[in-house]
Amino acid sequence: MRVLIVDDSPVSRMLLRAVLEGEGYEVDEASTGEEALQLLTTLTPDIVTMDVHMPGMDGYEATERILEQYALPVVILSASVDHQASATAMRALEAGALAVLEKPSGPNAVDFGERIAIILRTLRSMAQVKIVRRKRRSPDVAAVGAPPLVVQAVSGIPQLVAISASAGGPMAIKALLQHLQPQQQWSLVLVQHIAPGFLPSFRDWLASLTSMPVLVAERGQRLQPGTLYLAPDGHHLGFASDRCVNLDDSPPEDHVRPAANHLFRSVARYFGRQAIGIQLSGMGRDGAQGLAQLHQTGALTLVQEPATAVVDSMPRAAIDMQAASQVLPPEGIAELLNTIAVHMNVVNGSKGRE
């Protein structure tokens, strides 16, 4: 595997090079985003590691340019999880970076071995992702307004929208949130695979995209309509019999915690047809089995169209398991939710006049 390290710190580059070459990888280096773009005119790495703060072009802009021009997998390595660094890292995820990780401070750090193991594992898996940049087509209006789907959802009187995403998910989530009408009638919960420590910045970034409150879910919490809840670091998010939040620190599923499968299974058990499930961009199969279980209850289940996903593994896994009521781009999913909300208002208005 060939890795391009983009980092303005010679010490960080030297450390990462030593680790990667020790694993048998070929390594190239760039000290700025501009230098990285110049190197990419003559070399083709399997993956790029990107620092956040660099002179001139920062990690967000460099990531955006690389993905536009070369469609290479990019993993963000941040020296800290402070607000400024994390905000830039979130923008890089928005641009299509596959993951954000915290860099080890040095060989003498207590957690050095653990952080290096995470970086190596992430690079090995993300280097296998084929990034294809396509011009996104407009949502299929006929599909969005499909009456059977609207009738199916409205008849269940949905109380919850459960969403899962992983690599490439922030880009899809942004498109979804920005096309949703304000004052959602249901609660929304999101499981997004993200490195520990970056959740507060991810929450703040989401809050900048929508007028609805964005909160990290707490054990025993009763969900409120029109609010987006995030699974906290290191816990599976599910529900109890009273539909209050239940947080679970049981072992990871498919190497992740929180896991989308755990969320969807719990939603299927306690909400059934009164829920809507959404599977967005991501690597692996997490969420497919749980979404299929939710689909079997009669709930409306929506899967991102693979051609619009930065990483299409999770959407394709759900489709392969016949877990999707409909396959749509994120904007189309939002428009379908908007249409369902309008029809629910009509039904509720009619009941109020009876």
Q: Which positions are annotated as active-site residues?
A: 166, 193, 286
* Inter-CA distances, 99 with 102, 152, 288, Å: 10, 36, 21
Residue 330 is encoded by which pair of tokens? Answer: 């994120």
34-41, Cβ contacts within 8 angstroms, sequence gap of 24 or more: 35/6, 36/4, 36/6, 36/62, 36/66, 37/62, 37/65, 37/66, 37/69, 39/4, 40/4, 40/66, 40/69, 40/70, 40/72
Distance of alpha carbon 139 from alpha carbon 328, whole angstroms: 7
Distance of alpha carbon 153 from alpha carbon 339, whole angstroms: 10
What sign does the CA torsion over 152, 154, 155, 156 have? positive
| Total residues belonging to the chain | 354
Specify the DSSP class assigned to residue 215.
E
Beta strands in 199-283 (DSSP E): 214-216, 228-230, 236-239, 245-248, 275-279
Specify the DSSP class assigned to residue 23.
T
